[in-house]
Structure 1
Amino acid sequence: MTRQKEVFRPRVEGQVGMYVCGVTAYDFSHIGHARVYVWSDCLFRYLRHLGYEVKYVRNFTDVDDKIITRAKQTGEDPIALSERFCEEFKEDMNALRCLPPTSEPKVTTHIPQIITMIQQIINNGHAYAVAGDVYFTVDSFPEYGALSGRKQDENRAGERVAVDERKKNPADFALWKAAKEGEPSWESPWGRGRPGWHIECSAMSAEHLGEAFDIHGGGQDLVFPHHENELAQSRAACAHAHVGYWVHNGFVTVDEEKMSKSLGNFFTIRDVLKEFHPLALRWFLIGTQYRSPINYSRAQLDQASDRLYYLCQTVQDAHDLLTDSADTDGGAASAEASTSAAALRGGFEDSMSDDLNTPKAVAALSEPLKLMNDLMHTKKGRKDKARTANLRLLSKEVQSAAGILGFDLEDARKVLDELNAYALARARMTIEDLRARMDERAVARAAKDFARSDSIRAELAQVGIYLMDGGDGTLWKPAPVVESE
């Protein structure tokens, strides 16, 4: 709550409790969601790499106004609809290589815990019941606004702060909502009803992590009112409730504009994955430090795909060379390679430990990858007596760092094949179409019609296909689209 970087000190040495607000399951998740859960996954992976025993909890909101509204539109049962979208979300997270959290609690399976917490808040003088609804008394909590930095008179209607004459203060928010016909509801001391939006996370985090835990994360849009209200009601229920570190990521814009359905620039994860590899989206998302805003564009995804391809190709080339190498004695690596490997290890950990600076961590891969390619593809490198040992060391360190970022390169060839398939699909070509164009170009080159040869190459570059001429003939690979002049 200091709004500045602090040294991380867990409550219990060697253990970390981490809660990240999950999705409201009523629709397919968008790239803003992807950002939250990719950086959370990087943090989860890195803390485990450092040796912490991490309990990572990410909830599902499976009963909510939005779910009820969507269910009425589709004619589905609200709980069945939310269950369907919970499964769709899990599929998206799996595609993005996000590890499953330790626990994924749902609101509907924690109603008793929610009711108990609401009763504690009432007993402690911080809430009141009105005709089946229960509201939190904001005026009873002097610290309200400390997390967001807002004063109470800045709390505006329209930000899930409802105006209701039954409230003692317009900023008072619902802990429990009285049942309405056709909506999911449960028995409670105040009559049938369902939980308000904010109380669920307080109850579920307390149930799975205890009243005090280390890290609470989410998007910047949740700072107010959700996290502000969550903090207030948790402490109102238990004075000892505490979160060590509140962590929020910046917004996602699209072509420098706020992402919204009304502007027609709203993209679900599924939309993006129709055209780009899931790991390319992941690479793009970690290319900006999580607290900073990030601008989504096709050009950025093109660049991310290209860097991912370079990483996978380098690791695969090294694997092939090491597999075929007769040098199996495991000799010592050179001083240059050892220094590069140590610099990667140190630079990577320094960057990740500096408020999860993933772009700087990714940049630490550059020098070792360049050295690996020099060893494999230059005359000097091929003559290096320690070539095999150097490649083995560098490849191991590169794969270790990449793995912490969520890029498992054990099957780099499979990822390369998938990237090739995505590139052909974006170019609206089949592999047979591409081979025909390459054959056409080969005929032109043989006839010394270099103007035609260059024209074909340029046409392919404009759809993201790059041709490489060499001793083994002409090869191709995906590349960022080259705009025509």
Structure 2
Amino acid sequence: MRTWTRPELPELPGEGTAPRVFNTATGRLEHPPIEGGRATLYVCGITPYDATHLGHAATYLAFDLLQRSWIDAGIEAVYAQNITDVDDPLLERANATGVDWRELAESQVALFRSDMHRLGMLPPEHFVAVTECIDEIADAVQRLRERGLAYTVPSPDATGEDLYFDTAAASEQTQWRLGDVAPYDRELMSLLSAERGGDPDRAGKRDPLDPLLWRAAREGEPSWGTVLGLGRPGWHIECAVIAARALGNAFTVQGGGEDLVFPHHEFTAAHATALSGTPLAHAYCHVGLVSYKGHKMSKSRGNLVFVSKLLDGGADPSAIRLGILAHHYRSEWEWHDADLEVAARRLAAWRAGLERTGEEPAATVLQRLRAALANDLDTPVMLATLDAAFDGGVDEPQLLADAAEALLGVKL
């Protein structure tokens, strides 16, 4: 799938330090192992039926910064992202609006690409739609079935039987154990499964938490003929196959929003480990959810702030970035309409500061910026550092402008 144009990053003197990040799976700040000067990152992409809101932007901006930190440290960053372009929410929206699901997906992916380009996000080297690799995903499910890690559940409304992942068998036969990624108890897992695309009440399953691997064809739904018969893949196996194909196992960081910890990242890791015999990733990093008008942004609630509408309304992309970067990526926070005005004033102050010189060495400020970025992408500290530097003046203002653009993606 076509991606977007990569922004050029200014070259900075010296090098930064590879960042330590918070690993959800261990609950610790860690330096994920980087081999041969190459770091690999997989971030779960959108389901293209309503893109791109500020919650999406906050997630992709966090991992944009992670890549910028690696690049500044002299590390090659290889980035992969999927597009879930066939899934229940997409089909439901298409049916509700009378638009063909393919056309809906195509239009929303195009909007997403435009939003990411206008915000100055580094594009993935591997940008893969689920519909581009249906056969490969079906083959992976077939291998799990042959290994005794998948089982059928009767489906009266389908042409065949659905296939589910056997979590108990996987815990016995592979390195993966339930809870390896998600630090939750079983009661919470059951609640989250029901809220986030699982079906814990489905009759015929061996365990309520067992996730769907393959959905047999239903009337009125898209399906593909594969080694499994007519149908389409489940959510988690899609990312397991796409990530492994793009980056191999085990890659450096698996990223996404906090709402993907369970069940999505837990079972993506389970599937990948069962297929390859090795863990999916060294670290699992998650971005806090963004609220608006008192509630977490959600498509079901409709309280979304769309990036395209802000940009089309005249918002500076750098101001949008600053509005998000004012919050640490792991924190949960609320967007207020006035936040964009506050960010625009900060951006104007920085630009005015370019005309001001002082005695403080810009190189010293750059060291502070790099230290904050390496400390779990601490952007609030970075912004405060630049506030003070531009207010008081430095000996080389242009170096700070280059640092803001290279490290934060903020153009002055």
Shift of 1:220: 0.3
CA distance in 1: counterparts of 2:344 and 2:80, whole angstroms: 31
CA distance in 1: counterparts of 2:407 and 2:100, whole angstroms: 40
Q: Which of 215-224 and 112-121 deviates more?
A: 112-121
Secondary structure of residue in 1 paired with 2:48: coil
CA distance in 2: counterparts of 1:125 and 1:110, whole angstroms: 23
Which residue does 2:3 correspond to in 1?
none
Which residue does 1:382 correspond to in 2?
none
Counterpart code for 1:86 = V
- Please tell me whether the aligned partners of residues 365 and 398 of structure 1 are also in contact (alpha carbons under 8 angstroms): no
More helix by share: 1
CA distance in 2: counterparts of 1:184 and 1:262, whole angstroms: 23
CA distance in 1: counterparts of 2:64 and 2:268, whole angstroms: 23
Shift of 1:260: 4.2
Shift of 1:256: 4.3
Q: Which of 38-47 and 249-258 deviates more?
A: 249-258
Which residue does 2:248 correspond to in 1?
210
1:292 aligns with 2:315: no
Correspondent of 1:86 among 109, 112, 127: 109
Correspondent of 2:161 among 124, 129, 132: 132
Which residue does 1:259 correspond to in 2?
297
Which residue does 2:138 correspond to in 1?
115
Deviations 1:99-146 (A, max 9, x none): 211121110111122112212222222111344311001222331122
Which residue does 2:321 correspond to in 1?
282
> Which runs of no fewer than 5 residues in structure 1 stay unpaired?
319-332, 376-389, 410-485
Correspondent of 1:149 among 162, 183, 187: 183
The one of the two structures with greater contact order (alpha-carbon pairs below 8 A, sep at least 6) is 2
Secondary structure of residue in 1 paired with 2:305: coil
CA distance in 2: counterparts of 1:298 and 1:83, whole angstroms: 30
Correspondent of 1:159 among 192, 196, 201: 196
- Please tell me whether the aligned partners of residues 142 and 228 of structure 2 are also in contact (alpha carbons under 8 angstroms): no
Deviations 1:398-420 (A, max 9, x none): 322333200233xxxxxxxxxxx
1:48 aligns with 2:71: yes
- Please tell me whether the aligned partners of residues 50 and 299 of structure 2 are also in contact (alpha carbons under 8 angstroms): no
Deviations 1:436-462 (A, max 9, x none): xxxxxxxxxxxxxxxxxxxxxxxxxxx
Shift of 1:340: 2.9
Which residue does 1:402 correspond to in 2?
405
Correspondent of 1:61 among 65, 84, 105: 84
CA distance in 2: counterparts of 1:29 and 1:171, whole angstroms: 30
- Please tell me whether the aligned partners of residues 138 and 169 of structure 1 are also in contact (alpha carbons under 8 angstroms): yes
Distance 1:188-1:153 versus aligned 2 partners, 3 A rule: farther
CA distance in 2: counterparts of 1:356 and 1:103, whole angstroms: 24
Shift of 1:264: 5.8
Q: Aligned runs of 1:470-485 on 2, under 5 Å?
A: none
Correspondent of 1:168 among 206, 221, 238: 206
1:365 aligns with 2:386: yes
Which residue does 2:14 correspond to in 1?
none
- Please tell me whether the aligned partners of residues 401 and 411 of structure 2 are also in contact (alpha carbons under 8 angstroms): no
CA distance in 1: counterparts of 2:235 and 2:320, whole angstroms: 30
CA distance in 1: counterparts of 2:289 and 2:203, whole angstroms: 34
Secondary structure of residue in 2 paired with 1:214: strand
Shift of 1:170: 1.8
- Please tell me whether the aligned partners of residues 368 and 398 of structure 1 are also in contact (alpha carbons under 8 angstroms): no
Secondary structure of residue in 1 paired with 2:229: coil
Compute the TM-score of the two structures, normalised by the length of structure 2.
0.85
Distance 1:342-1:102 versus aligned 2 partners, 3 A rule: same
- Please tell me whether the aligned partners of residues 40 and 253 of structure 2 are also in contact (alpha carbons under 8 angstroms): yes
Distance 1:105-1:261 versus aligned 2 partners, 3 A rule: closer
Distance 1:264-1:169 versus aligned 2 partners, 3 A rule: closer
Secondary structure of residue in 2 paired with 1:230: helix
Q: Which of 252-261 and 52-61 deviates more?
A: 252-261
Q: Percent identity?
A: 35
Q: Which of 126-135 and 264-273 deviates more?
A: 264-273
CA distance in 2: counterparts of 1:49 and 1:40, whole angstroms: 14
- Please tell me whether the aligned partners of residues 138 and 228 of structure 2 are also in contact (alpha carbons under 8 angstroms): no
Which residue does 1:8 correspond to in 2?
32
Shift of 1:347: 0.5
| Aligned-pair Cα RMSD in Å | 2.0
Which residue does 1:184 correspond to in 2?
222
Instruction: Flag the structure with larger Rg.
Output: 1
Shift of 1:296: 0.5
Which residue does 1:454 correspond to in 2?
none
Counterpart code for 2:353 = T
Counterpart code for 1:405 = L
Correspondent of 2:368 among 347, 353, 356: 347
Shift of 1:261: 5.7
Q: Aligned runs of 1:305-384 on 2, under 5 Å?
A: 305-315=344-354, 317=355, 337=359, 339-372=360-393
Q: Which of 95-104 and 57-66 deviates more?
A: 95-104
Distance 1:340-1:255 versus aligned 2 partners, 3 A rule: farther
1:197 aligns with 2:221: no
Counterpart code for 2:90 = I
> Which runs of no fewer than 5 residues in structure 2 stay unpaired?
1-24, 154-159, 172-176
Deviations 1:57-96 (A, max 9, x none): 1111111111111222233321222111100111111121
CA distance in 2: counterparts of 1:195 and 1:270, whole angstroms: 31
Distance 1:264-1:227 versus aligned 2 partners, 3 A rule: closer
Shift of 1:26: 1.1
Counterpart code for 1:145 = G
CA distance in 1: counterparts of 2:45 and 2:399, whole angstroms: 34
CA distance in 2: counterparts of 1:275 and 1:401, whole angstroms: 21
- Please tell me whether the aligned partners of residues 350 and 387 of structure 2 are also in contact (alpha carbons under 8 angstroms): no
1:72 aligns with 2:98: no
Q: Which of 263-272 and 87-96 deviates more?
A: 263-272
CA distance in 2: counterparts of 1:192 and 1:134, whole angstroms: 12
- Please tell me whether the aligned partners of residues 124 and 236 of structure 1 are also in contact (alpha carbons under 8 angstroms): no
Secondary structure of residue in 2 paired with 1:38: helix
Secondary structure of residue in 2 paired with 1:32: helix
Secondary structure of residue in 2 paired with 1:26: coil
CA distance in 1: counterparts of 2:320 and 2:398, whole angstroms: 23
Correspondent of 2:124 among 92, 96, 101: 101
The count of corresponding residues between Structure 1 and Structure 2 is: 372
CA distance in 2: counterparts of 1:219 and 1:207, whole angstroms: 22
